[in-house]
A and B are shown apart, each in its own frame.
Chain A
Amino acid sequence: MRLDAKIPSGPLAEKWDRHRFDLKLVNPANKRKYDIIVVGTGLAGASASASLAELGYDVKTFCIQDSPRRAHSIAAQGGINAAKNYANDGDSIWRLFYDTVKGGDFRAREANVYRLAQVSSAIIDQGVAQGIPFARDYGGLLANRSFGGAQVSRTFYARGQTGQQLLLGAYNSLMRQVGTGKVKMYPRREMLELVLVNGQARGIVVRNLITGEIESHSAHAVALCTGGYGNVYFLSTNAMASNVTACYRAYKKGALFSNPCFTQIHPTCIPVHGDYQSKLTLMSESLRNDGRVWVPKNPGDKRPPKEIPEADRDYYLESKYPSFGNLVPRDVASRNAKEQCDMGKGVGDTALAVYLDFEDAINRDGKDVIAQKYGNLFQMYEKITGENPYEMPMMIYPAVHYTMGGLWVDYNLMSTIPGLFVLGEANFSDHGANRLGASALMQGLADGYFVLPYTIGGYLAAEAFQDAPIEHPAFKETTREAQARVERLLSVNGKRTVDDFHRELGHIMWEYCGMARNNDGLNKAKGMIQSLRDEFWENVKVPGSNGDFNQSLERAGRAADFLEFGELMISDALARQESCGCHLNEGFQTEENEARRDDENFCHVSCWEYAGEDKEPALHKEPLAFENVELTQRSYK
């Protein structure tokens, strides 16, 4: 298969303008003749739904929660980047583009990233117009802060709730369109299958989560905005219902899945406290500005932190990376914490944590200054752990929180299935092997407000459509598939719960396909996942019935897909015999234990094509050409 990314010709800075001119248009009066399905109502889905309806398309929008306002974009804390250069500190579209490409360790597409930087400013303007209460300076102008390793202040924020405010802005616009009748909203629906007619994406099959009814919905195009798959690890900072099912079902229908092994693991999260833990909570990485990370020098030292003298402490980041110290990038900080715990130097009841100590900062600056900077974070920490971080060092540990991989899309955000578009975290396109802080919100909204509304018109205007109402045999057939799967899940009636299987899968993924990977471990994990999957279909217990509100059944379907998808991640990690960004294969490290890229052999996007049940998927490669930036090696010593 030849993958055509449809990157426009011409100089980088002119590509998007040229492309918008070249795209065919749908006449304003004809837009209402097209139905578009949008799945998911996070930043990408809500903004796309609202914008498409504003243009005049008829939109059908689906979400699994009881209201579109609850999608997990809402939990993003820190901020959103934009190349406004309001701070007058030398920012530009080019600099945001360059930082993002380099931050992704040169595994993203130049043209897509440049476009992202280009539209970043318009997102802020749109947000302000919607009434998003961004932080402001005393003069009433928008405030900026620096974030995630950037050397300029380009991050806009609304307290520690930037994601919430941006999502509510998009949600309000979406609700306005629901009010006008241009969007029909379907909450509490879970997409189970994609429907193809004549090779085009023409609809979806969903389960009504209240009644259990399997419903069909048809359209001229489908946009998946269903987020990331971090919950394959069971424990992550994702919401409980975040899942891979919609994307995975599209993959099984022929869409290619790109770079599934690229998962970002955030270094500063509240550690696991016990076997019953359901999710992990992120603490803003800004804490590493003043906190010092350490573990006891001697493995198994169980003394309380205050009783461990300086001589018996190991400030491992400061000693290993003297120039960056505690401020090394996320992937490096995470890997080192794991390494210390693997050596038996972890702290706390579970020994899977390291200290983040503010004692020196409090002694230096006073408690008030520290409270002013981090008060709300300290409070959140105390609420969850019951410990006071002013008195005791915090305990932190890395956690999965974002996935850079996703369905392959071309420059138009269209997958390898005509008419199937993929936006936001669900696609692979902009972050390469590592995402920078404050870039996820930017990408989700860029895709929804300013990219898809143009590119989908180009597709619709150029394509011929046959009638494909839900009575079409393709819908009947796909509905039968979905129904059969639901019935199969309910009929096993074994002895282990869904969560029990999912948790075990999470352990395997975390152990062998987490912060550091090696070929032996990956091969071993592959076998483990296969046997776990076999056991799942023989021994899972899903209570209740199909014709009902049944949360166990919902989770079972998601876990079943994760049990297949986990293996795809392992295959991808094995195929990429290099290290880059988040993907550290222990066999490919620099002398300083950093990721050693192999640009000669792996400067490409890995794209996986489904080949059938229990068959190894086929690997296709989209070569990455860097015409505007020079590939360099990162170093933090």
Chain B
Amino acid sequence: MSKTINLTLKVWRQEGPEKKGRLETYPARDISTDMSFLEMIDVINEQLTLDGKEPIAFDHDCREGICGMCGAVVNGHAHGPEKGTTLCQLHMRHFSDGDTIVIEPWRSRAFKVVKDLVVDRSAFDEIIQVGGYISANAGGAPDGNAIPIPQSVAELAMDAAACIGCGACVAACPNASAMLFVGAKVSHLGLLPQGRPEAAKRVQSMVSRMDALGFGNCTNEAECEAACPKEISITNIARLNREFLKAKFFSPE
């Protein structure tokens, strides 16, 4: 049954990338427990607007957990405390009356703060640009059933392909590593026969771009897997490492 709760929010406010940020405190009263976390911020923002203040900037779009646009660190957890849940799918029934909630942006050298809770994740697009694809121009594809792919392989590829590119893995990692994101794409494409011809080039290009963009290395903390709203497994990082070593030994480019 729905009820209402009162909360205290401590929200990171930062006017721009070069500006100094700070935590501001806002009361959140009569919040329905049926609301999503983002709807709760909507309510606060309506009030801030009417009070003549700047509403809190935050990224969001589909609000059904698939576009990867939303995300903030809530009480120290990327996307909040619920496992396998994006911030937009987190509901207020998981909080109690009187709670204090601290809301901060993703923090990483590679993700600069744009404003308040909004960060610049274009580094992910840059990594995909250098190899996160199969080079297949429209028009020349053979029949879809020309190459049978074992169901188990297709399922494993799909597990990795489910990544929504939200960046929670980077935010959760003490090294701000993007290895889960890169590992998921290298696995998705490398597991499939169509992806093999470019596999060695792909993994080397993506890893070197990832390093150049300022992401850290993986030290097996597994925080990324715990924070991932799509529960992408860190075995994808192991596969990334194997692909990378194999490429370096056998197909230097």
Number of CB contacts from chain A to chain B under 8 A: 217
Q: Which residues in chain B, 127-146, are within 8 Å of chain A measured between CB atoms? A: 128-130, 132-145
Q: Which residues in chain B, 152-190, are within 8 Å of chain A measured between CB atoms? A: 154-155, 157-158, 161-162, 164-165, 188-189
A427 to chain B, nearest CB (A): 19
Instruction: Verify if B20 is at the interface (C-beta below 8 Å from A).
Output: no
Instruction: Verify if A310 is at the interface (C-beta below 8 Å from B).
Output: no
Instruction: Verify if A74 is at the interface (C-beta below 8 Å from B).
Output: yes
Say whether B114 contacts A210, CB under 8 Å: yes
Q: Write out the residue numbers on chain A whose beta carbons fall within 8 Å of the beta carbon of B63.
A: 239-240, 278-279, 281
Instruction: Verify if B25 is at the interface (C-beta below 8 Å from A).
Output: no
Stretch among A269-277, A318-326, A402-410, A574-582 lining the B interface: A269-277
Q: Using an 8 Å CB-CB cutoff, how does the interface string of A114-148 with B read, 1 for contact, 0 for none?
A: 00000000101111111111111111111000000
- How many chain B residues sit at the interface, stated as a range, is 35 or more
Say whether B136 contacts A130, CB under 8 Å: yes
Instruction: Verify if A386 is at the interface (C-beta below 8 Å from B).
Output: yes
Q: Write out the residue numbers on chain B whose beta carbons fall within 8 Å of the beta carbon of A373.
A: none
Q: Write out the residue numbers on chain A whose beta carbons fall within 8 Å of the beta carbon of B2.
A: 273-274, 349
Q: Write out the residue numbers on chain B whose beta carbons fall within 8 Å of the beta carbon of A86.
A: 145
A84 to chain B, nearest CB (A): 7
* Complex CA–CA separation, A71 to B69 (angstroms): 10
Say whether A50 contacts B42, CB under 8 Å: no
Instruction: Verify if B10 is at the interface (C-beta below 8 Å from A).
Output: no
Q: Which of A67, A135, A173 contacts B165 (CB 8 A)?
A: A67
Interface size on A, residues (CB 8 A): 83
Q: Which of B35, B55, B62, B122 contacts A66 (CB 8 A)?
A: B122
Instruction: Verify if A549 is at the interface (C-beta below 8 Å from B).
Output: yes
Instruction: Verify if B211 is at the interface (C-beta below 8 Å from A).
Output: no
Instruction: Verify if B120 is at the interface (C-beta below 8 Å from A).
Output: yes
A605 to chain B, nearest CB (A): 29
Say whether A131 contacts B194, CB under 8 Å: yes
Q: Write out the residue numbers on chain B whose beta carbons fall within 8 Å of the beta carbon of A139.
A: 148
Across the two chains, which residue of chain A brings its CB closest to B125? Answer: A67
Q: Which residues in chain A, 159-201, are within 8 Å of chain B measured between CB atoms? A: 159, 161, 164-165, 168, 171-173, 175-176, 178-179, 185, 187
Q: Write out the residue numbers on chain A whose beta carbons fall within 8 Å of the beta carbon of B162.
A: 159, 161, 164
B188 to chain A, nearest CB (A): 7
* Complex CA–CA separation, A66 to B57 (angstroms): 14
Say whether A453 contacts B154, CB under 8 Å: no
* Complex CA–CA separation, A173 to B131 (angstroms): 10
Instruction: Verify if A54 is at the interface (C-beta below 8 Å from B).
Output: yes
Say whether B69 contacts A51, CB under 8 Å: no
A125-B144, A544-B54, A549-B115 known; A131-B192 Cβ under 8 A: yes
Say whether B141 contacts A131, CB under 8 Å: no
Q: Main SS of chain B's interface residues?
A: loop
A67-B122, A138-B151 known; A543-B192 Cβ under 8 A: no
Q: Which of B16, B54, B134, B154 contacts A172 (CB 8 A)?
A: B134
Say whether A179 contacts B122, CB under 8 Å: no
Q: Which residues in chain B, 4-39, are within 8 Å of chain A measured between CB atoms? A: 16, 32-36, 38-39
Q: Using an 8 Å CB-CB cutoff, how does the interface string of A28-58 with B read, 1 for contact, 0 for none?
A: 0000000000000000000100110010000
Instruction: Verify if A102 is at the interface (C-beta below 8 Å from B).
Output: no
* Complex CA–CA separation, A115 to B188 (angstroms): 32
Considering residues B61, B150, B194, which has the most beta carbons from chain A within 10 angstroms of its beta carbon?
B61
Stretch among B45-53, B216-224, B235-243 lining the A interface: B45-53
Q: Which of B61, B121, B192 contacts A133 (CB 8 A)?
A: B192
Instruction: Verify if A538 is at the interface (C-beta below 8 Å from B).
Output: no
Q: Which residues in chain B, 197-224, are within 8 Å of chain A measured between CB atoms? A: none
Instruction: Verify if A459 is at the interface (C-beta below 8 Å from B).
Output: no
Instruction: Verify if A72 is at the interface (C-beta below 8 Å from B).
Output: yes
Q: Write out the residue numbers on chain B whose beta carbons fall within 8 Å of the beta carbon of A544.
A: 54-55
Across the two chains, which residue of chain B brings its CB closest to A50? Answer: B138
Say whether A450 contacts B55, CB under 8 Å: no
Instruction: Verify if B74 is at the interface (C-beta below 8 Å from A).
Output: no
A174 to chain B, nearest CB (A): 9
Instruction: Verify if B66 is at the interface (C-beta below 8 Å from A).
Output: yes
Q: Which of A140, A175, A179, A185 contacts B151 (CB 8 A)?
A: A140
Q: Write out the residue numbers on chain B whose beta carbons fall within 8 Å of the beta carbon of A273.
A: 2, 32, 34-35
Say whether B135 contacts A543, CB under 8 Å: no
Instruction: Verify if B108 is at the interface (C-beta below 8 Å from A).
Output: no
A133-B192, A277-B39 known; A541-B49 Cβ under 8 A: yes
Q: Write out the residue numbers on chain B whose beta carbons fall within 8 Å of the beta carbon of A306.
A: none
Across the two chains, which residue of chain A brings its CB closest to B129? Answer: A179
Say whether B42 contacts A125, CB under 8 Å: no
A136-B151, A179-B129, A453-B138 known; A161-B66 Cβ under 8 A: yes
Across the two chains, which residue of chain A brings its CB closest to B47? Answer: A497
Q: Which residues in chain A, 204-248, are within 8 Å of chain B measured between CB atoms? A: 210, 237, 239-241
Instruction: Verify if A622 is at the interface (C-beta below 8 Å from B).
Output: no
* Complex CA–CA separation, A66 to B122 (angstroms): 7
Say whether B133 contacts A172, CB under 8 Å: yes
Say whether A129 contacts B194, CB under 8 Å: yes
Across the two chains, which residue of chain A brings its CB closest to B69? Answer: A70
Say whether B150 contacts A384, CB under 8 Å: no
Say whether B34 contacts A241, CB under 8 Å: no
* Complex CA–CA separation, A92 to B85 (angstroms): 41
A23 to chain B, nearest CB (A): 15
Say whether B148 contacts A140, CB under 8 Å: yes
Across the two chains, which residue of chain A brings its CB closest to B163? Answer: A168
Say whether A175 contacts B91, CB under 8 Å: no
* Complex CA–CA separation, A129 to B43 (angstroms): 45
Say whether B91 contacts A176, CB under 8 Å: no
Q: Write out the residue numbers on chain B whose beta carbons fall within 8 Å of the beta carbon of A132.
A: 161
Say whether B133 contacts A140, CB under 8 Å: no
Instruction: Verify if B80 is at the interface (C-beta below 8 Å from A).
Output: no
* Complex CA–CA separation, A273 to B145 (angstroms): 45
Instruction: Verify if B99 is at the interface (C-beta below 8 Å from A).
Output: no
Across the two chains, which residue of chain A brings its CB closest to B185? Answer: A172
* Complex CA–CA separation, A126 to B16 (angstroms): 42
* Complex CA–CA separation, A278 to B137 (angstroms): 39
Considering residues B33, B64, B143, B145, which has the most beta carbons from chain A within 10 angstroms of its beta carbon?
B64
A281 to chain B, nearest CB (A): 5
Say whether A84 contacts B144, CB under 8 Å: yes
Q: Which of B32, B60, B68 contacts A240 (CB 8 A)?
A: B60
Say whether A74 contacts B154, CB under 8 Å: no
Across the two chains, which residue of chain B brings its CB closest to A179? Answer: B129
Instruction: Verify if A539 is at the interface (C-beta below 8 Å from B).
Output: no
Say whether B129 contacts A239, CB under 8 Å: no
A506 to chain B, nearest CB (A): 15
Which 4 A-B residue pairs are closest in the complex by CB-CB distance? A140-B148, A172-B133, A129-B141, A129-B136
7 example contacts (A-B, Cβ-Cβ < 8 A) are as follows A67-B124, A158-B161, A164-B164, A173-B133, A185-B125, A500-B46, A541-B49
